[in-house]
Amino acid sequence: MTDNNGDYGTGRGRLISALAKIQKKHGYLPEDALSELSRKMGISKSEVYGVATFYSQFKFDPPAKHTLHICLGTACHVRGGMKILESVRKRFKVNPGETTEDRKFALERVACLGCCALAPVVVLDGEIHGKMTPESVDKLIDDLDAPERGV
Amino acid sequence: MGFKEARQKAHDVWASLVDNKRPLIFAGAASCGRAAGVQSVISAFRTRLAEKGIEASIIEVGCVGMCYLEPIIDIKMPGKPRVSYSNINPARARKLIADHIIGGEVCEDLAIGTVGEQRADGIPGLFEHPMLAAQNRRVLRNCGLIDPTNIDHYIATGGYSGIEKAIEIGPEATIEMVKKSGLRGRGGAGFPTYRKWEFCRRSPGTPKFLICNADEGDPGAFMNRSLLEGDPHAVLEGMLIAGLAIGSSKGIIYARAEYPLAVERLKIALAQMSEYGLLGDGIMGSSFSFEIELEEGAGAFVCGEETALIAALEGRRGMPRPRPPFPAVSGLWGKPTNVNNVETLGNLPQILINGPDWFAELGTEKSKGTKTFALAGKVKRTGLVEVALGTKLRDIVFSIGGGILDEKKFKAVQTGGPSGGCIPLEMLDLPVDYERLAEAGSIMGSGGMVVMDESTCPVDIAHYFISFTQQESCGKCPPCRIGTNKMLGILQKIKSGKGTMRDLALLEELALTVKRASLCGLGQTAPNPVLSTLRYFRDEYIEHIRNRRCPAGVCRKPRKKAADNHNSNSVADATGGE
């Protein structure tokens, strides 16, 4: 939130959008970019880091080649979202928030994407898919350009 | 361009749709339509139309609320009625082109109804469909029918006449009108909108800020997403009206990061408002000036709480602070600030246009108007519905929702997301209003309504919500930070068949403490799912404890060998799984 002029606020309101901009450019928040931001905005590095870590959108590792978000909102929960999560977790041996060692596949959970009527829902590389099952998610992953079976 | 000319132009644009010269194809392209694959349907239409050399327009619209029938496609041939088709895939798209667009015959087997006044033989009106017939679609009146990226469609259907009226009668009379309507905050708490406005209007200090809270974070709720995707101008016009009423010239929308399409549509809508002179200095030739800025959230559930939201806008960790002072006195940057929910704002234009009596003709004594609900879970017809307040839960679940999937038995309906509770079968005749839901141990909340059948376990649901609030707790106050964590531990224990009756007593005691002692709404309401399931399904908790058995068959005992749990922070622990 920009704060027009010096009458109120300190430019501080731009911190989160500045972080978002860095993430958009790099896909994550590299440490040197955070240091530079801290210098430029006159906000201590620990505070910049404190703000960034509060929000779930900010990542501190380079993005994987493919990212699968599994929705675990209420509707997805009662309609089997957990089963999908368990199956993907077993297949790639990663927990939510983790990436495979070859950095090809990342698994994320999300609280609700708001497509509850089509539960369970997953998002693969930004594309939403509804009414999923562990099998259909498997197939989605298999259909990626470079299948990463048996990572 | 003055607004009068803009309105004339909009009517011309709309008339060309009603009296179209070439085939029109309306595609339901909100997030739910996209999840159901509408994009591949649209490209199938494009390809085949090009192959056949047919000139037609494809218009992307929002969601009519029948998400279970997505992808929904409407076709309107020149001089013919607009016909809605459901469950369209690329093959069916090609069939629609062959039969309806080229052959001129309505595909009766795929049609679900006609939109508008014209009828087709043998096809009922779409709004006579059992899911829609029992609804009162006021806030959602345009969703699924107009192009949300075209301001002319909104203006032609009465848009921006509400702010015109507000400018004409002035701020005091606008507040009076909203007072008379009985509108209460649709974000969940139900505080009278006019009172919030009065506090802010009377507070000294400039500038004043008007914030639209579009940080819809409750899992199982998508009302605001649908409205922003399907009719963004209704919310933006509401912001103009609220801004005028409180004496603000600065509006901010705080939108949830997980809603990229809503953000995109808002950006388009804001650019169009500027172009039409609906933002900036001297709106509609008056002395009223207003700017709107769009801020994307960065992902934190607690930021739906107004003081946390303000902290996020100030570039800090989104943690709430004690009130008073209320934001109306000291909010963003210490200035008087009014925070309204998306749906509250979306109601305003029509209150101004149709008057407070029209608004208040629906509803109960203390809860006037309509409310949108996101109907999901184990129900046949899932989607976004809008009903008069006071409608019975039974009517929502059975008449509108069509009853339970797979002919299973109804168990409970969960309202209010992680802040609400489960309402059991015996209470299905409860009229939905703010007071009655609270008496039943739930809350109105923002409008999530998740239906549960006999195969849903109340202990698992309580565990699910507590694991959510425990993760989303900002950590500032100990009752919420530690209390939710301890409650989660006990629920985990009960789920896995290791609970004792002492645990149950402790769980209840903790729940009441967290409820009373937490700093903000997140902690104060977090125990509701536990307390309400204990109130109505205590026997199932006891069954888990005494007989180590989950009657619904959801909770399983942990595997004997802990070897699989290579990580103590296992997925199951973190997400509320088995």
Instruction: Tell me the pLDDT of chain B (578 aa) as tens digits.
Output: 689 999 999 999 999 998 999 999 999 999 889 989 999 999 999 999 999 999 999 999 999 999 999 999 999 999 999 999 999 999 999 999 999 999 999 999 999 999 988 898 889 999 999 999 999 999 999 999 999 999 999 999 999 999 999 999 999 999 999 999 999 999 888 999 999 999 999 999 999 999 999 999 888 889 999 999 999 999 999 999 999 999 999 999 999 988 999 999 999 999 999 999 999 999 999 999 999 999 999 989 999 999 999 999 999 999 999 999 999 999 999 999 999 999 999 999 999 999 999 999 999 999 999 999 999 999 999 999 999 999 999 999 999 999 999 999 999 999 999 999 999 999 999 999 999 999 998 998 889 999 999 999 999 999 999 999 999 999 999 999 999 999 999 999 999 999 999 999 999 999 999 999 999 999 999 999 999 999 999 999 999 999 999 999 999 764 444 334 444 333 333 333 33
Quick one: pLDDT at residue B564?
A: 41
**Predicted confidence (pLDDT) per residue in A71-89, tens digit:** 998 889 888 999 999 999 9
Rounded Cα distance between A88 and B575, Å, is 14
Tell me the nearest-neighbour CA distance from A10 into chain B, angstroms: 9
User: Which pLDDT value is given to residue B568?
Assistant: 37
Task: Give A50's contacts in chain B (Cβ within 8 Å).
Answer: 317
Identify which of A78, A115, A118 has the shortest CB distance to residue B378.
A78
- CATH 3.10.20.600, applies to B370-453: yes
Asked if the Cβ–Cβ distance from A3 to B333 is below 8 Å, we say yes
Chain A residues whose beta carbon lies within 8 Å of the beta carbon of residue B257? 57
B217 Cβ partners below 8 Å, 6+ apart? A111, A112, B256, B301, B303, B304, B472
- The verdict on a CB contact (< 8 Å) between B318 and A54 is yes
| DSSP E strands, B149-290 | 209-214, 250-255
How many CB pairs (< 8 A) connect A and B?
Answer: 176
Report the relative pairing of strands B82-85 and B111-115 from DSSP bridges: antiparallel
Question: How long is chain A?
Answer: 151
The answer to whether the beta carbons of residues B132 and B66 sit under 8 Å apart is yes
Provide ipTM, 2 decimals.
0.88
CB–CB contact A118 B217 (8 Å)? no
| Distance separating alpha carbons of residues B431 and B435, to the nearest angstrom | 10
Residue A5 has pLDDT above 60, yes or no: no
The answer to whether A79 and A118 are in contact (CB under 8 A) is no
Reported as a single tens digit per residue, the pLDDT across A47-63 is: 999 999 999 999 998 99
Cβ atoms B211, B248 nearer than 8 A: no
Q: A5: distance to nearest CA of chain B, Å?
A: 12
What are the structural domains of chain A? Answer: 1-62 (1.10.10.1590), 66-142 (3.40.30.10)
Q: Read off the DSSP letter of residue B304.
A: G
Helix (H) or strand (E) holding B190: none
How much is the pLDDT for B571?
37
CATH classification for the domain delimited by B155-359, as one of 3.40.50.2000, 3.40.50.1820, 3.40.50.1000, 3.40.50.11540: 3.40.50.11540
Q: How far is CA B127 from CA B38, B144, B372, B383, in A?
A: 22, 12, 17, 15
Query: How far apart are the C-alpha atoms of B358 and B145, rounded to whole Å?
Result: 23
CATH number of B16-132: 3.40.30.10
Contact between B297 and B253 (Cβ < 8 Å)? no
CA atoms of B445 and B186, how far apart (whole Å) = 8
Give CA–CA dist A78/B464, Å, rounded. Answer: 10
Fold adopted by B458-575: de novo design (two linked rop proteins) (1.20.1440)
Separation CA A15–CA A2 (nearest Å): 9
Chain B residues touching A1 at Cβ < 8 A: 252, 293, 295, 313-315, 332
Give the model's pLDDT for residue A145. 64
Query: CA of B217: which chain A residue's CA is closest?
Result: A112
Cβ <8 Å between B220 and A75: yes
Q: Which residues in chain B are closer than 8 Å to A60, comparing Cβ atoms?
A: none
d(CA B176, CA A80): 48
Q: Among residues B135, B354, B359, B147, which one has the least CA distance to residue B232? A: B147
- Distance to chain B for A40, nearest Cα, Å: 15
Per CATH, B155-359 and B370-453 having the same topology is answered no
Interchain CB distance below 8 Å, B468 and A130: no
Q: Determine the Cα–Cα distance for residues B389 and A134; give it in Å rounded to an integer.
A: 39
A51 to B316: CB separation less than 8 angstroms, yes or no:
yes
pLDDT of residue B502: 97
Show me where the domains of chain B are located.
16-132, 155-359, 370-453, 458-575
Strand partners, A46: none
The rounded distance, in Å, linking the Cα atoms of B418 and B466 is 7
CB A92 within 8 A of CB A151: yes
pLDDT at res. B557 = 62
